[in-house]
Structure 1
């Protein structure tokens, strides 16, 4: 495949959806596409996705219409096979992914590049509480489930701290994606990550 796949992941509360929305608005006209996420949940709440019923999702899964799919918190998530067509046309494609599914994504796309969005523990807790989707006990349990993950040495991983102003983290992501889009895959390893991960972070 001639294109570049950038897999953006991070813990709940890290502000990943807001960060991707910022990048989308500031990358108009660039050869960068943001893959659609199909989720068995109504759209809204600041999250860009295509809502499917459980039955619709299952039918598309059986037909092989998802390049990537996973389940989390009783919901099903999918990335459509249009992803492969976009990569074949030489585009840089950004996926809003799950840390739990990362190893499956690497197996299918071994040249994947990872962006890990994170925030300070107290920021994560405050943001999760502000959502009012879960009780304080559920939020604490979610934060306690965070465990280390590892990446193969061949995988380029950049960590972006989104603890502060969205614009600061957003500019870092925009700069990273512009560099990825305008660098050939063969030369990718010559570009250092703006904030290199130590290949040990946290999983969802």
Structure 2
């Protein structure tokens, strides 16, 4: 039997281009060796597509793992499938905090599954989002316009910790680090 208090699941969400991957990478670097772990996502996107370090799976591999209960949470968004490994539940049970690069669309399911979830909303101004999306080169102008409209329509939940990431990545990374280290 485990007498430890379960860890906190920090569910990082925000619009494409807000800089979630960058801030998570910066915080991860500063929290090495701590009781905060960073979950990899399993995504049906090629490993060399840029962005976050993830485990690339084919659609067939993803579905096979999902059917066998390998994911604590799985969702589909923008033509891709995303999963968070079942090991996250073990880590939380052992009292470790876990950072997950989540999705606004998956937040309700994540809340239902993880009792200790704290949403972290990373945002940036529409101009900054548009510039970042154009620079990464994964979407055409129509897709970027759609993403910007979705970003503008989303209201973060009232319990979300909000990080405005319009400036230097180091400032946003320091804000996320402070939150995760409860400093």
What is the TM-score of this pair, normalised by structure 1?
0.83
- 1:160 maps to what in 2? 163
TM-superposition CA deviations, 1:69-90 (whole Å, max 9, x none)? 0001111000010000001111
Deviation at 1:102, TM superposition (A): 0.2
Match of 2:23 among 19, 28, 31: 19
CA contact (8 A) 2:15 2:147 kept: no
Q: 2:22, 2:13 → 1: CA distance?
A: 13
The within-5 A match list for 1:147-186 is 147-149=153-155, 151=157, 156-179=159-182
SS at 1:179 equivalent: coil
Deviation at 1:138, TM superposition (A): 2.1
SS at 1:33 equivalent: strand
Q: 2:40, 2:18 → 1: CA distance?
A: 20
- 1:80 maps to what in 2? 85
Deviation at 1:111, TM superposition (A): 2.7
* Aligned-pair Cα RMSD in Å: 1.4
Deviation at 1:141, TM superposition (A): 2.0
Aligned pairs, number: 177
Unaligned 5+ segments in structure 1 are 181-204
- 1:119 maps to what in 2? 124
Unaligned 5+ segments in structure 2 are none
- 2:63 maps to what in 1? 58
Query: Higher relative CO (CA 8 A, sep ≥ 6), structure 1 or 2?
Result: 2
- 1:184 maps to what in 2? none
Deviation at 1:150, TM superposition (A): 5.7
Q: 1:150, 1:123 → 2: CA distance?
A: 18
Q: 1:55, 1:138 → 2: CA distance?
A: 26
Deviation at 1:28, TM superposition (A): 1.1
What is the TM-score of this pair, normalised by structure 2?
0.92
Q: 1:115, 1:145 → 2: CA distance?
A: 18
Match of 2:38 among 34, 38, 52: 34
